[in-house]
């Protein structure tokens, strides 16, 4: 017999919607189509001179239709998908669509959208809309947006907070960026160690809901000093009359608010954590970090590293051209200077190249292989530095290891390269010079691939920022000098 469940009359049936990133992409395509139609309508209306009243009426009807279509598409999406769509639109269209997003989504979207896009959204909001959006946020969430919000909005939002929330907001805003304190959450469950599990269960049932990503309850004394943690799984399977002190875990990872958020992310990855307590210098529990914040940190660090390798900082891809030039120009100018130096070095061997023209075609191979070898090494080093596996004590050990690996790879690859050089030049001498120069430049690239990020980190610079530009400069310049210098000595 099949079980059936009656549905009360007049009770709405809620059909859960599956979250799918492709939904946001499809919605973006639909929005872009509507916005293009809207541009056409506006362009035609400007050209229409006759029967102006009728033209304005038609334009208004079409624009309202487009707005309704946009509202129907956007407001049916998850806030994260709305943020994705807004980031994918030019500034003017982004702000236009943002005005059509339901106010109930404002807070979540502002928290989800990237910093560079958030600025343009806040610019398009009036004072009351900003106060209404931030007024529904927790203290730690307001602190995340504080740098982008006008001071008068922050001041008015603080008036609506309780004394505890206001103190939490001031505390969160006081921690430097990229620290645990800047990402910690104040919403958590705390219990005493001298109560039974039955008391804890009754306390949890009185809560409206558990804080997000709650996998453990924090056990504290009357001074809020952290004594241990109680996993929810342990709570559910233990006898209700057992006291918390008997089943809590005293072997736990605690973070300090001034710890690096990257170090915290590494700890979450290493120990498979869902949440971790944050304690001050006196051991008092002041907050927690959850996997949600850690995932954001990992993603942001990954994006920053990818941009830094090319000498870029995060920017709005629809930003004005002048802003983009300011971002991209400096390291491109550095690259221009380094390429000029490499060309100058090659020009010093003009006589050698004029005698043996084939060298002009072969020397780019030497420089390119050296650069690729160095980039492989540098990518591994920057990754290892990001997870804290490199220190001053093992730097030279890594240099020796990478030199050994590169030497073996270079010996194998240089045989093939020498054979190619022999084939096109019909000269064993050129093949030998090619082989030696290739191995030498690969060793140079590998050594610098280790040293450049380590030295930049030692002097307080971003290890990834512009490192590939510096490496390319070294391998091109030294590669040309090594190859053409050997040719000058042994071939002429």
At residue 43 the predicted structure's pLDDT band, cuts being 50, 70 and 90, is: low
Residue 322 vs residue 110, higher pLDDT: 110
* In a shared domain, residues 405 and 334: yes
CA distance 147 to 169: 13
Domain boundary among 309, 336, 359: 309
Query: What CATH number does residue 79 fall under?
Result: 1.25.60.10
Residues 87-113 pLDDT 10s: 888 888 888 899 999 989 999 999 888
pLDDT tens, residue by residue, 265-300: 989 988 999 999 999 999 999 999 999 999 988 888
Residues 173 and 201 grouped into a single domain: no
Q: Is residue 69 assigned to a domain?
A: yes
Alpha-carbon span 89 to 323, nearest angstrom: 17
Instruction: Give the pLDDT band of residue 44 (cuts 50, 70, 90).
Output: low
Query: And the tokens for 134?
Result: 């931030």
pLDDT of residue 231: 95
- Calculate mean pLDDT across residues 321-330: 69
* Residues 153, 214 within the same domain: no
Across 11-20, 289-298, 318-327, 373-382, least confident range: 11-20
- For residue 376, give both structure tokens: 């492989």
pTM summary value: 0.68
Q: 170: number of CA atoms within 13 Å, CB side?
A: 10
Confidence category of residue 12, pLDDT binned at 50, 70, 90: very low
Residue 430 confidence (pLDDT) above 60: yes
Cβ contact 293:274 at 8 Å: no
The range of the structural domain enclosing residue 328 comes to: 321-490
> How many domains is the chain partitioned into structurally?
3
Q: pLDDT tens across 60-80, in order?
A: 666 777 788 888 888 888 898
Are residue 206 and residue 164 in the same domain, yes or no? Answer: no
Percent of the residues in the chain that have a pLDDT greater than 90, as a whole number: 26
Give 356-377 pLDDT, tens digit per residue: 888 888 888 888 888 888 888 8
Residue 57's pLDDT band (cuts 50, 70, 90): low
Of 111, 146, 178, which residue is a domain's last?
178
Phi, psi of 195 (to 5 degrees): -110, 160
Q: The tokens of 378 are what? A: 């540098």
Q: pLDDT value at position 309?
A: 61
133 and 207 inside one domain: no
Residue 195 has pLDDT above 90, yes or no: yes
Residues belonging to the chain: 492
Q: How far is residue 36's CA from residue 28's CA, in Å, rounded to a whole number?
A: 12
Crossing angle of the two packed helices 428-458 and 395-425, in degrees rounded to 10:
150
What pLDDT does 10 receive? 47
- What average pLDDT score do residues 242-257 get? 94
Q: Are 491 and 356 in contact (CB under 8 A)?
A: yes
Q: Quick check: 3 pLDDT over 90? A: no
Predicted confidence band of residue 211 (pLDDT cuts 50, 70, 90): very high
Residues 162 and 81 in one domain: yes
Q: Does 258 map to a domain?
A: yes
Distance CA 6, CA 9 (A): 9
Instruction: Give the residue, 161 or 232, on which the prediction is more confident.
Output: 232
Residue 4 pLDDT:
42
Check whether 246 has a pLDDT greater than 90: yes
**In b/e form, how buried is each residue of 166-185, taking b as 16+ CB within 10 angstroms?**
eebbebbbebeeebbbbbbb
Examine the fold and report which residue of 283, 309, 335 is the final residue of a domain before the chain moves on.
309
User: Lowest-pLDDT range, 42-56, 221-235, 289-303, 440-454?
Assistant: 42-56
Range with the poorest average pLDDT among 10-14, 155-159, 355-359, 363-367: 10-14
DSSP strands (E only) in 222-267 = 226-231
Asked if 140 and 31 sit in the same domain, the reply is yes
Instruction: Give me the CATH number covering residue 259.
Output: 3.10.580.10
Confirm whether 129 is domain-assigned: yes
CATH number at residue 360: 1.10.357.20
Q: What is the β-pairing status of strands 275-279 and 285-290? A: antiparallel
Show the tokens assigned to 375.
Answer: 């980039």
Q: Tell me, what DSSP letter sits at residue 225?
A: B
For residue 70, tell me if it sits in a domain. yes
Is the domain of 345 the same as that of 373? yes
What is the pLDDT confidence band of residue 392, given thresholds at 50, 70 and 90?
low
Concatenated DSSP letters for 313-345? ----TTS-HHHHHHHHHHHHHHHHHHHHHHHHH
pLDDT at 342 over 60: yes
In this structure, what are the phi and psi dihedrals at residue 99, rounded to the nearest 5 degrees? -65, -20
236: pLDDT confidence band, cut at 50, 70 and 90?
Answer: very high
Identify the residue with better confidence: 2 or 253. Answer: 253
Residue 362 sits in the same domain as residue 302: no
Tokens of 226: 């952290």
User: Does residue 58 have a pLDDT over 60?
Assistant: no
Question: What is the model's pLDDT at position 40?
Answer: 65
In a domain, 397, yes or no: yes
Domain membership of residue 143 (yes or no) is yes
Do residue 409 and residue 359 come from a single domain? yes
Residue 442 lies in a domain: yes
Q: What is the mean pLDDT of the chain?
A: 83
The pLDDT-based confidence of 388 (bands split at 50, 70, 90) is: low
Is there a single domain that holds both residue 152 and residue 254?
no
Say whether both 230 and 147 belong to one domain.
Answer: no
Contacts of 301 (CB under 8 A, 6+ apart): 262, 265, 386
pLDDT band of 311, cuts 50, 70, 90: low
Q: Is residue 14 part of a domain?
A: no
């Amino acid at each position: 017999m099949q079980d059936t469940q009656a549905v009360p009359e007049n009770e709405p049936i809620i059909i859960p919607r599956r979250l799918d990133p492709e939904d946001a992409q499809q919605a973006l395509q639909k929005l872009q189509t509507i916005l293009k139609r809207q541009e056409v309508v506006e362009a035609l209306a400007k050209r229409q001179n006759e029967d102006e009243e009728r033209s304005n009426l038609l334009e208004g009807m079409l624009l309202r239709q487009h707005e309704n279509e946009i509202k129907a598409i956007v407001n049916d999406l998850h806030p994260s998908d709305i943020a994705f769509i807004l980031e994918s639109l030019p500034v003017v269209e982004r702000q236009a669509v943002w005005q059509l997003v339901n106010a109930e989504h404002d807070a979540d979207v502002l928290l989800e959208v990237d910093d560079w896009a958030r600025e343009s959204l806040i610019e398009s909001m009036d004072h009351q809309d900003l106060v209404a959006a931030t007024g529904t946020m927790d203290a730690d969430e307001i602190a995340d947006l504080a740098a982008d919000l006008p001071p008068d909005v922050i001041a008015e939002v603080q008036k609506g907070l309780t004394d505890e929330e206001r103190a939490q907001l001031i505390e969160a805003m006081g921690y430097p960026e990229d620290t645990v304190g800047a990402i910690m959450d104040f919403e958590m469950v705390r219990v005493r160690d001298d109560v039974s599990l039955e008391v804890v269960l009754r306390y949890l049932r009185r809560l409206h809901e558990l804080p997000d990503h709650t996998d453990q309850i924090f056990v504290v004394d009357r001074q809020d000093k952290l004594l241990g943690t109680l996993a929810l799984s342990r709570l559910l399977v233990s006898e209700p009359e057992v006291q918390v002190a008997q089943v809590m875990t005293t072997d736990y990872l605690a973070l300090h608010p001034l710890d690096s958020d990257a170090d915290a992310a590494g700890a979450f990855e290493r120990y498979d954590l869902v949440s971790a307590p944050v304690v001050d210098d006196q051991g008092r529990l002041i907050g927690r970090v959850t996997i949600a914040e850690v995932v954001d940190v990992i993603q942001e660090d990954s994006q920053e590293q990818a941009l830094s390798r090319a000498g870029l900082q995060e920017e709005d891809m629809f930003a004005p051209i002048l802003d983009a030039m300011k971002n991209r120009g400096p390291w491109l100018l550095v690259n221009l200077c380094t390429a000029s130096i490499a060309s100058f070095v090659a020009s010093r061997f003009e006589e050698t190249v004029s005698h043996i023209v084939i060298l002009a075609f072969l020397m780019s191979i030497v420089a390119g292989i050296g650069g690729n070898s160095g980039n492989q090494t540098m990518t591994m080093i920057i990754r290892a530095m990001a997870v804290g596996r490199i220190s001053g004590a093992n730097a030279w050990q890594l240099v020796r290891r990478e030199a050994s690996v590169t030497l073996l790879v270079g010996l194998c690859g240089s045989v093939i390269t020498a054979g190619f050089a022999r084939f096109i030049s019909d000269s064993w001498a050129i093949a030998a010079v090619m082989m030696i120069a290739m191995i030498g430049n690969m060793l140079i690239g590998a050594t610098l691939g280790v040293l450049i990020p380590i030295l930049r980190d030692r002097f307080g610079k971003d290890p990834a920022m512009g490192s590939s530009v510096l490496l390319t400069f070294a391998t091109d310049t030294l590669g040309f000098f090594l190859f053409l210098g050997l040719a000058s000595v042994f071939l002429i």
